[in-house]
């Protein structure tokens, strides 16, 4: 496939608005594109207008399955007037393709699709199966990868590459991510008689204060660094002359293997249980979603093979890195099947979710070359 056609596929993907939904249109485009190259794909609905997609080529009888995986959704655009170019025009300027999802992660997704098409068109013999996985909702709960994992699509995997933006460097580890709510229930009265009510905001502030030091004893991961925790949303009260009967906060925590998601949830429950022993305290914890941290050994065959290929492709050593975001890998690796995972893609991590998001087109082409060589060598 010519580079111009590869760029056109990336443009088509970016031009489809899949902000926090509408992945069905992206999945339909991919299915139609693959069909032109005699590759069948399965649409797996999640909700109305929201579809996952799975396609496979290679020896159907082989037990070796290499997965290229990416999400079909993007984050919101924000104020469209702040953008240099229309975020759904896929405008190209100075060898940069601009648009929402250009980096995160339609460039990685396009490169994976192109890799599958090239291998099929060239009739490259594969001693195994290449599975392409496209998921819904990674940016807001990873419900697509959770659904596909529950349906068994990770149960036979031998290795996986997640195509999030890494700037052509190789990410072998990332933090988990845990989002939660704490709800405070009080008793509303007129603000002239606060002693007759229970102030839900005041009670919730006690939680925020306790949370600030609750993880001081957590160990530091030699790979990922310290556990990171923050209270990020606070809502309470309805009007200034009423004692608030309800308040709530949201928090985000980035677990590490040494203080994992189960340990985090146990600690959060301990804070809430301790505060609820106080008179008139009524707090409730709800964990919204919980992604576990991921680490693949730097000397693992998958990491070393990918680095070897990428070093040659880029004519200089690429970096082995960690990131502190989470990916669909946290859901796929909940399968009882154990397999190595790396994160490798085009686009810069700093461009993910950013205003005027873009991807360098040379980087996009190089990463696609790495994908194709990696699949061929892994399944040789």
pLDDT at 332: 96
Q: Of the ranges 44-48, 89-93, 320-324, which one carries the lowest mean pLDDT score?
A: 320-324
Per residue in 165-217, pLDDT (tens digit) is 999 999 999 999 999 999 999 999 999 999 999 999 999 999 999 999 999 99
Q: Which residues contact 1 (CB under 8 A, 6 or more apart)?
A: 114, 117, 118, 121
pLDDT at 326: 87
Report whether pLDDT(324) > 90: no
Q: CA-CA distance, 73 to 16, in Å (whole number)?
A: 10
pLDDT at 243: 97
Q: Is the dihedral of CA 117, 120, 124, 126 positive or negative?
A: positive
pLDDT at 26: 98
Paired with 254 in beta bridges are 228
pLDDT at 229: 97
Mean pLDDT, range 345-361, rounded to an integer: 96
Q: CA-CA distance, 57 to 119, in Å (whole number)?
A: 9
Q: CA-CA distance, 116 to 40, in Å (whole number)?
A: 11
pLDDT at 278: 95
Residue 48 CB burial class (10 angstroms; 0-12, 13-18, ≥19): exposed
Structure tokens at 152: 């068994």
pLDDT at 37: 97
pLDDT at 135: 98
Per residue in 265-319, pLDDT (tens digit) is 999 999 999 999 999 999 999 999 899 999 999 999 999 999 999 999 999 999 9
- Quick check: 172 and 296 in contact, CB under 8 A? yes
Q: CA-CA distance, 209 to 202, in Å (whole number)?
A: 11
Report whether pLDDT(65) > 90: yes
Per residue in 102-114, pLDDT (tens digit) is 999 999 999 999 9
- Domains of the chain in sequence order: 3-174+294-378 (3.40.630.10), 177-291 (3.30.70.360)
pLDDT at 307: 98
Q: CA-CA distance, 72 to 50, in Å (whole number)?
A: 9
Provide the pLDDT confidence category of residue 237 given band limits of 50, 70 and 90. Answer: very high
Strands 159-162 and 341-343: parallel
The mean pLDDT of the chain is 96
Provide the pLDDT confidence category of residue 325 given band limits of 50, 70 and 90. Answer: confident
Q: CA-CA distance, 34 to 284, in Å (whole number)?
A: 48
117 backbone φψ class: left, alpha, beta (φ>0; ψ -120 to 50): alpha
Sheet holding 177-185, edge to edge: 228-236, 246-254, 177-185, 283-291
Strands 129-135 and 50-58: antiparallel
Q: CA-CA distance, 248 to 254, in Å (whole number)?
A: 20
Mean pLDDT, range 368-377, rounded to an integer: 98
């Amino acid at each position: 496939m010519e580079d111009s056609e590869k760029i056109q596929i990336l443009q088509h993907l970016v031009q489809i608005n899949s902000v926090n939904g509408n992945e069905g249109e992206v999945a339909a485009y991919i299915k139609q594109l693959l069909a032109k190259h005699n590759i069948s794909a399965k649409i797996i609905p999640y909700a109305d207008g929201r579809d996952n997609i799975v396609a496979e080529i290679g020896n159907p009888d082989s037990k070796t399955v290499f997965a290229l995986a990416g999400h079909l959704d993007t984050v919101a655009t924000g104020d469209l007037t702040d953008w240099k170019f229309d975020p759904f025009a896929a405008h190209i300027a100075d060898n940069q393709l601009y648009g929402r999802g250009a980096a995160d992660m339609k460039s990685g997704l396009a490169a994976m699709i192109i890799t599958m098409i090239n291998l099929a068109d060239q009739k490259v013999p594969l001693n195994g199966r290449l599975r392409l996985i496209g998921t819904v909702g990674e940016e807001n709960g990873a419900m697509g990868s959770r659904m596909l994992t529950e349906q068994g699509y990770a149960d036979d995997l031998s290795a996986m590459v997640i195509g999030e933006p890494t700037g052509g460097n190789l990410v072998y580890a990332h933090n988990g991510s845990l989002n939660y709510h704490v709800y405070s229930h009080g008793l509303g009265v007129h603000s002239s008689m606060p002693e007759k009510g229970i102030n839900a905001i005041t009670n919730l502030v006690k939680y925020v204060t306790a949370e600030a030091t609750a993880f001081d004893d957590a160990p530091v991961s030699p790979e990922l660094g310290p556990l990171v925790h923050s209270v990020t949303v606070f809502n309470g009260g309805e009007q200034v002359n009423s004692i608030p009967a309800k308040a709530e906060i949201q928090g985000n925590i980035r677990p590490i293997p040494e203080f994992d998601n189960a340990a985090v949830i146990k600690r959060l429950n301990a804070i809430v249980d301790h505060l609820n022993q106080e008179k008139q305290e009524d707090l409730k914890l709800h964990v919204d979603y919980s992604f576990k941290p991921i680490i693949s050994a730097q000397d693992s065959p998958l990491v070393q093979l990918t680095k070897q290929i990428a070093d040659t492709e880029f004519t200089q050593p690429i970096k082995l890195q960690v990131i502190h975001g989470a990916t669909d890998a946290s859901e796929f690796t909940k399968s009882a099947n154990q397999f190595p995972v790396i994160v490798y893609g085009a686009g810069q991590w700093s461009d993910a979710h950013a205003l005027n998001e873009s991807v360098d087109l040379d980087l996009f082409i190089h990463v696609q070359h790495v994908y194709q060589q990696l699949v061929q060598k892994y399944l040789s």
